[in-house]
Amino acid sequence: MVTEQPHFFTRWEHGNFPVWIKPQENGRKTVIMRDSHSELQEFASARQFFLTLYNGRDHKLTMSRYFRMSHPEPEKTILDIFTRPSLVLVPSTMPLGIDLKQRGHEVAKLLYAGFGARIARSGFDPREVLQEVYRGLLARNRGRCPWDANKSSFSHYVHMVCSCVLNNYHKREYRRRGREVDVDDSTLFLLNEAGQSTEKAVSEDTMAVQDLSKWIRLRYKGLTSTERIEIACSVVPLLQDGMTRQEMADQLGLTKGQVNRAVRLVREAARSWKEALDI
């Protein structure tokens, strides 16, 4: 009969029953639990105790983990007085940040191991992505969140920075590619024929936009609605600036369908203008 106070109580999902731990002569421990019928159940081992609680499922728990017991600190000896303080002071004196001269090769290995397949699928240059990661690490070294060995491991920190840099690089590259493929070759030729100097190139581009707009008004007058002609003329300079169709729709306050029809008209006009000029 158990008379002393229980050592533990089971968790609330298991009924909050009192539990006693009794050591045996062979070094093992017997677990005793009072169930809902006020009857004592005795278990020869902790494993049998947990199998009963979890209806035969073995979660490989320990008594310390289940009852959330803190681990006692080991007793200090004379050696701890002389050796432990020096070991504790070493991490706190380490400089913050990552020295790329010493550990740049480790950063490259972590980038290619964790994100190499994604970089290849996206068609990016691995060396350019690596340079972006280096720049990101240098910025963090000078900023508010440099690597601190006391807070995170080297590999975990580098993996986090690589993921952040690659996401930003992915968005920037696909935004640029979307602008590049939005206009066909003939339209780009007519809108972006450049001279040797910057001023001359800007002047020729402006003239090309104006001439193509005039051609659209003359060529399609009476063949389509005036509204579509004017929308096409307003789209021409935006195409030259490399805007995507969604950006043009947002800026002009139009639907994407209206912009698509205007772009088709501009392309058709550019081809006919090219034939008329015998370019």
Other residues' Cβ atoms within 10 Å of the Cβ of residue 147: 23
CA 33 to chain centre: 49
Tokens 């139009």 locate to 254
Answer yes or no: do 238 and 196 share one domain: yes
Lowest mean pLDDT among 10-14, 39-43, 178-182: 178-182
Residues 106 and 175 in one domain: yes
Write out pLDDT tens, residues 66-111.
777 765 555 555 555 455 444 444 444 557 788 888 888 999 999 9
pLDDT at 48 > cutoff 80: yes
Q: pLDDT value at position 72?
A: 56
Neighbour-count burial for 75-96, b at 16+ CB within 10 Å, e otherwise: eeeeeeeeeeeeeeeeeeeeee
236 and 258 share a domain? Answer: yes
Residue 278: pLDDT band (50, 70, 90) is low
Count structural domains, the chain: 3
Cα separations in angstroms, 238 against 121, 182, 210, 242: 31, 11, 12, 7
CATH number for the domain harbouring residue 229: 1.10.10
Pair (243, 213) in one structural domain: yes
* Rounded Cα gap, residues 76 and 255, in angstroms: 76
Asked if 209 and 262 sit in the same domain, the reply is yes
Q: How far is it between the farthest Cα atoms of the chain?
A: 109
User: Do 135 and 205 fall within a single domain?
Assistant: no
The residue length of the chain stands at 279
Within a domain: 252 = yes
Q: For residue 173, is it within any domain?
A: yes
How many angstroms separate the CA atoms of 169 and 136, rounded?
11
pLDDT at 200: 47
pLDDT tens digit sequence for 206-264: 777 777 888 888 878 888 888 888 888 888 887 776 777 877 776 667 788 888 888 88
Q: Is 129 exposed, middle or buried (0-12, 13-18, 19+ CB in 10 A)?
A: buried
Q: Are residues 140 and 171 in the same domain?
A: yes
Whether 238 is in a domain gets the answer: yes
Query: 58: domain range?
Result: 8-66
- Is residue 6 over pLDDT 50? yes
Q: Which two tokens stand for residue 124?
A: 């990016």
What pTM value is reported for the model? Answer: 0.35
Identify the pLDDT of residue 196. 42
Q: Closest Cα partner for 237 from 268, 273, 200, 206?
A: 206
Question: Is the domain of 168 the same as that of 220?
Answer: no
| Domain termination site, one of 180, 198, 227 | 180
Structure tokens at 94: 């380490």
Least confident of 25-29, 33-37, 98-102: 25-29
